[in-house]
Amino acid sequence: MANIELIEKLSNAFGVSGYEKEVRNILKEEIRGFVDRTETDSMGNLIALKNMQAKGPKIMLNAHMDEVGLIVDYIDENGFLGFKKVGGIDDRLLAGKRVLLGDKKIPGVIGIKAIHLQTKEEEENSIPSKNLYIDIGAKNKDEAEKLIPLGTPVMFKTEFEEISSGVYIGKAFDDRLGCALVAELLKESFKNPIIALFSVQEEIGLRGAAIGAYKYTPDISITLEGTISADLPDVKEHLKCTKLGQGPVITIKDSGTITDNALREKLVSIAKKQKIPYQFKQLLAGGTDSYRIQTMKSGVKVITVAVPVRYIHSPVSLFYKTDYDNTFNLIKRFVKSL
């Protein structure tokens, strides 16, 4: 059921916050012919409209296009690139990772001195990102600057791959899985007015959603995400948050939002009736575009539903196709019920 080809394109695409053009173009092409019109606003949000003349509550389907990454902020005399993080990334995940820089996707590696040269203290502690650098093989500053000007965005070089039956790894499943879900939902037939908001800059402050939802304010908004799955050996049971293989994740509350009680109960009722597995997000952490959308103008009823994903905000993540398919089925039936 999952459109794996689309998920692969989206996962491999360049889309660090503020530089979502490649992702936007893939989505625009994918939904062509299934919506009445699309537009790109001043922030770079992709907005697709369908059935806007229909009666009934206006429903927004929301997913963010951007991913965490890096941005070049310094070039030294030897051609090594300093960088800052874009979005939340654990410093321990950076050293030795391969990266792609800018529109031309110039390859590089995040460097660190060999263990033979490290002090005992350095060996025993993670290296802060401010002490790391990107090496593109440049001989000097002039050569590096010709290829990589200051402000160049950087993404992790991770190829989408099926590692066992129905189990996939790749980057940016937060939130390219949500983008794929919204794109596939737009191909369905719904009676309500539908506003699809593919937002930008979610990872650095939920920025795009505020602009998109202000222009096209819905009655009901459904944010679709890839969320934390912490079903790992070193995580205590009460902190596991969500688990792979147990279906879509329904948020009751996170750091910024309490979702609509009636809509959430309706969602659960549909899941039970259709025998679709589901789970609640157990850890009240993180935030989504629902926070911005919920408080827009006179207020919007929101729910947040996600595919559980291991290792989000890292160079490589993992999800199950069954969880994606069950999320799609649940949201499709939920929207039709409205």
| H/E segment holding residue 147 | helix 141-147
180 and 275 together in one domain: yes
Residues 179 and 223 in one domain: yes
164-313-199-20 Cα dihedral, nearest 10 degrees: -80
Q: How high is the pLDDT of residue 283?
A: 67
Helices 321-337 + 173-185 axis angle, to 10:
40
Q: Which of 112-116, 137-141, 190-194, 213-217 has the lowest mean pLDDT?
A: 112-116
Amino acid occupying residue 19: Y
Calpha distance 99→106 (Å, rounded): 8
- The residue whose two tokens read 């996600």 is 306
> Per-residue pLDDT tens for 186-196?
999 999 999 99
Which of 156, 187, 209 finishes a domain? 156
Neighbours of 213 (CB within 10 A): 28
Residue where a domain stops, chosen among 156, 186, 218: 156
pLDDT-based confidence at residue 281 (cuts at 50, 70, 90): confident
Question: What's residue 122's pLDDT?
Answer: 61
> Per the domain annotation, does 164 fall within a domain?
no
pLDDT for 86: 96
CA atoms 250, 187, 47, 3: torsion sign: positive
Supply 296's token pair: 């827009």
Q: At residue 158, does pLDDT exceed 70?
A: yes
Dump pLDDT digits (tens) for 294-318: 999 999 999 999 999 999 999 999 9
Mean pLDDT of the region 164-173: 97
Average pLDDT over residues 63-81: 96
Statement to judge: residues 150 and 179 lie in one domain: no
pLDDT tier for residue 229 given thresholds of 50, 70 and 90: confident
Mean pLDDT (the chain, rounded): 92
Q: What is the mean pLDDT of residues 229-247?
A: 76
Within-domain flag for 300: yes
Domain containing 100 equals: 70-156
* pLDDT value for 126: 77
Would you say residue 101 has pLDDT above 90?
yes
29 and 58 in a common domain = yes
In a domain, 89, yes or no: yes
Assess whether 198 and 297 both reside in one domain.
yes
pTM, to two decimals: 0.93
- Residue 58 sits in a domain whose CATH number is 3.40.630.10
pLDDT of residue 256: 85
Q: Residues 20, 127: one domain? A: no
What DSSP string runs through 152-195? -EEEE----EEEETTEEEES-HHHHHHHHHHHHHTTS--SS-EE
pLDDT at 123 (0 to 100): 61
What integer pLDDT is reported at residue 8 of this predicted model? 97
Least confident of 21-25, 94-98, 120-124: 120-124
Give the 3-state DSSP-derived string for 5-34, with helices as H, strands as E and coil as C.
Answer: HHHHHHHHCCCECCCCHHHHHHHHHHHCCC
- Same domain assignment for residues 211 and 323: yes
Is pLDDT at 231 greater than 90 in this prediction? Answer: no
Asked if 63 contacts 198 with a C-beta cutoff of 8 angstroms, the reply is yes
Q: Domain boundary at 156, 187, 204, which?
A: 156
In a shared domain, residues 182 and 204: yes
- Asked if residue 163 is part of any domain, the answer here is no
Count other C-beta atoms under 10 Å from residue 63's C-beta. 28
Instruction: Specify the number of domains making up the chain.
Output: 2
**The tokens 């191909």 sit on which residue?**
187
pLDDT score at 133: 95
Residue 228: predicted pLDDT: 81
Residue 126 DSSP one-character state? P
Is 304 part of any domain? yes
Examine residue 162 and state whether it is found in any structural domain, yes or no. no
| 109 shares its domain with 37 | no
Residue-level pLDDT at 120:
67
Q: Which range, of 16-20, 78-82, 285-289, averages the lowest pLDDT?
A: 285-289
- CB-side exposure of 170: number of CA atoms within 13 Å? 28
The answer to whether the CB of 145 falls within 8 A of the CB of 76 is no
**135 against 127, higher pLDDT:** 135
Instruction: Enumerate residues 6+ apart whose C-beta is below 8 A from 268.
Output: 250, 278
- Spot the catalytic one: 20, 22, 67, 202: 202
Residue 166 falls inside a structural domain: no
What is the average per-residue pLDDT within 183-205? 96
Q: Domain check: are 11 and 34 in the same one?
A: yes
Residue 202 annotated in active site: yes
209 DSSP 8-state letter? H
Q: Which of 147-161, 177-191, 250-264 has the lowest mean pLDDT?
A: 250-264
Percent of the chain with pLDDT over 70: 92
**308 belongs to a structural domain:** yes
Spatial separation of the C-alpha atoms in residues 303 and 91, rounded to whole Å: 32
Q: Are residues 94 and 242 in the same domain?
A: no
Same domain, 197 and 317: yes
CATH of the domain at 135: 2.40.30.40
Question: CA gyration radius for the chain?
Answer: 21
| Average pLDDT score over residue span 117-129 | 69
Using alpha carbons, list the distances in angstroms from residue 267 to 60, 63, 278: 16, 18, 10
